[in-house]
Amino acid sequence: MKKLFNLLGSLFATIAVALLLNYWLQSFGNPGYVMIGIGHWSLETSLVIFSISLLLGFFVFYQLFRCIGWLIRLPGHLKSRGKNIRFNRSQEALIAGLVDSVEGNWEKAENILIKHASHSGAPLIHYLTAARAAQSRGAFDKRDEYLKKATDHAPDSDVIIGLTQAELNLSGNQFEQALETLTRLHSIDPNHANVLKLLHQTYQHVGDWHGIRKLIPSLHSQQILMEAEVKLLETETYSQLLKEAATNANIVDLKTLWSEIPSFIKNMPSIAAIYFAAMIYVGADNEIEEELIEILSSRWDETLLVLFGSLQSNNVVTQLETAEKWSYVHQDNAVLLAVMGKLAIKCEDSFKAESYLAKSIAVEPTVQAYQFLGDLLFAQGDQEGASRCYKNGLELASSELVARIDRLPS
């Protein structure tokens, strides 16, 4: 409509100019004439007619050339308009696909997204969303196909495509595939936050504590986890590594790992207990005796005390004397008295052993103390006393078991 108004306006303006020109020439007595000769032909007319014809001819030819130009550009306009229509439809399809995906209409979302992906301004989003929809309905082959198409359409988007693939692998419990993808992405961008986060989760799923140990500095520096979470993860990691080294019965690995553990973790009794128990398990009792004594002398812990009593020391007498020194500070400690009784049995000092074990039971009866005292009495020939200790120990063990069962959630 606007173009029609422009055309009519130009036409009326041309006519108006012609009329004004005619009026101006008529004001002269002799308006003049124009003669054009070509070979044997000649054309003679008044100046008014010639001027009006010239203006109208210019208008006609101007519009003719404009029309020819429009016709030349018409295929391009039609193509561009068709492209815009397809683009708008693809945008609408993307919104519809996202809505269907959120609502759980996986197959419908998948179909509409793929149908319009090639005409979209963001085909990557179409393919990645379709891959998620395919994963949700269990079509793993289709998921991989869409991820491949996403790579073909956006070869420079390795990280975002790889992250999507890793997330889908993780949600599908395909941990090995996820680890392979994330390892490749980590080599491309070692400090990418999402790569580090997913890599940490994958390592935990597969139990790769060595991998987590290498990843901890990056998790901390890139602030992927809060400081408290990093320390908790670090503690769990070294705990698991100590258990692995103990399982492999490798003394060198245990000692090397212990020397590399940060001090704040070493000072945790639970971690120290794992290390010392592992060293006892692999038969390295004598290598940890002095360190264990040093720790117990400065930081009392009953779990470590029990481990001290389990050491196969080269000098049991000195070991008992060390424990007796602690009794001056930790008087009437049932665990310490039981350990002293156990060490006295090893020293073949029956009088001390019976005295310590009886005191331990008097302070706080334990199954282990009853067992040690029963074994001692049995070795001395006091079968009645031994039977009484064993009976009391069994009753105590039974009551503890019943108490544990009662504490279980119904």
Q: Is the pLDDT of residue 98 over 60?
A: no
One-letter amino acid for residue 238 of the chain: Y
* Residue 157 within any structural domain of the chain: no
Q: Is the pLDDT of residue 66 over 80?
A: no
Tokens standing for 84?
């815009």
pLDDT value of position 336: 92
pLDDT value of position 407: 61
Q: 277 lies in which domain range?
A: 226-301
pLDDT value of position 72: 76
What average pLDDT does the segment 17-36 reach? 64
Contacts of 221 (CB under 8 A, 6+ apart): none
Of 150 and 90, the structure prediction assigns the larger pLDDT to 150
pLDDT value of position 93: 60
Per-residue pLDDT reduced to its tens digit, 47-60: 667 766 776 777 77
Question: Which of 194-198, 348-352, 404-408 has the weakest average pLDDT?
Answer: 404-408
pLDDT value of position 318: 92
* Residue 404 within any structural domain of the chain: no
pLDDT value of position 172: 84
Percent of the chain with pLDDT over 90: 13
* Residue 39 within any structural domain of the chain: no
Q: How confident is the model at residue 119 (pLDDT cuts 50, 70, 90)?
A: low
pLDDT value of position 340: 93
pLDDT value of position 140: 77
**Short-list 359, 409, 369, 410, CA closest to 393:** 369
Q: Are the beta carbons of 353 and 376 closer than 8 angstroms? A: yes
* Residue 242 within any structural domain of the chain: yes
Of 313 and 33, the structure prediction assigns the larger pLDDT to 313
Q: Is the pLDDT of residue 143 over 90?
A: no
pLDDT value of position 386: 85
* Model confidence, pTM: 0.65
* Residue that the structure tokens 């020439």 belong to: 25
What average pLDDT does the segment 84-105 reach? 59
CA distance to 98, 106, 112, 122, 159, per residue, from 118 (Å): 17, 20, 12, 9, 21
pLDDT value of position 337: 92
CA distance to 160, 242, 301, 347, 352, per residue, from 263 (Å): 39, 15, 17, 36, 38
Q: How confident is the model at residue 359 (pLDDT cuts 50, 70, 90)?
A: very high
Of 359 and 103, the structure prediction assigns the larger pLDDT to 359
Per-residue pLDDT reduced to its tens digit, 396-409: 888 876 666 666 66
pLDDT value of position 324: 92
* Residue 294 within any structural domain of the chain: yes
Q: Is the pLDDT of residue 88 over 60?
A: no
Q: Count CA within 13 A, CB hemisphere, residue 50.
A: 12
pLDDT value of position 341: 92
3-state secondary structure the chain: CHHHHHHHHHHHHHHHHHHHHHHHHHCCCCCCEEEEEECCEEEEEEHHHHHHHHHHHHHHHHHHHHHHHHHHHHHHHHHHHHHHHHHHHHHHHHHHHHHHHHHCCHHHHHHHHHHCHHHCCCHHHHHHHHHHHHHHCCCHHHHHHHHHHHHHHCCCCHHHHHHHHHHHHHHCCCHHHHHHHHHHHHHHCCCCHHHHHHHHHHHHHHCCHHHHHHHHHHHHHCCCCCHHHHHHHHHHHHHHHHHHHHHCCCHHHHHHHHHHCCHHHHCCHHHHHHHHHHHHHCCCHHHHHHHHHHHHHHCCCHHHHHHHHCCCCCCHHHHHHHHHHHHHHCCCCHHHHHHHHHHHHHCCCHHHHHHHHHHHHHHCCCHHHHHHHHHHHHHCCCHHHHHHHHHHHHHHHHHHHHHHHHHCCC
What total of structural domains would you count in the chain? 1
Per-residue pLDDT reduced to its tens digit, 149-186: 888 777 777 888 888 888 888 888 888 888 998 998 88
Per-residue pLDDT reduced to its tens digit, 313-331: 889 999 999 999 999 898 8
Per-residue pLDDT reduced to its tens digit, 217-269: 888 888 888 888 889 999 999 989 988 888 887 788 888 899 888 888 888 88
CA distance to 69, 88, 124, per residue, from 83 (Å): 21, 9, 18
Report the mean per-residue pLDDT for the chain: 80
Contacts of 200 (CB under 8 A, 6+ apart): 212, 215, 219, 224, 225, 233
* Residue 243 within any structural domain of the chain: yes
What average pLDDT does the segment 380-408 reach? 80
* Residue 270 within any structural domain of the chain: yes
Percent of the chain with pLDDT over 70: 75
Q: Is the pLDDT of residue 100 over 80?
A: no
* Residue 330 within any structural domain of the chain: no
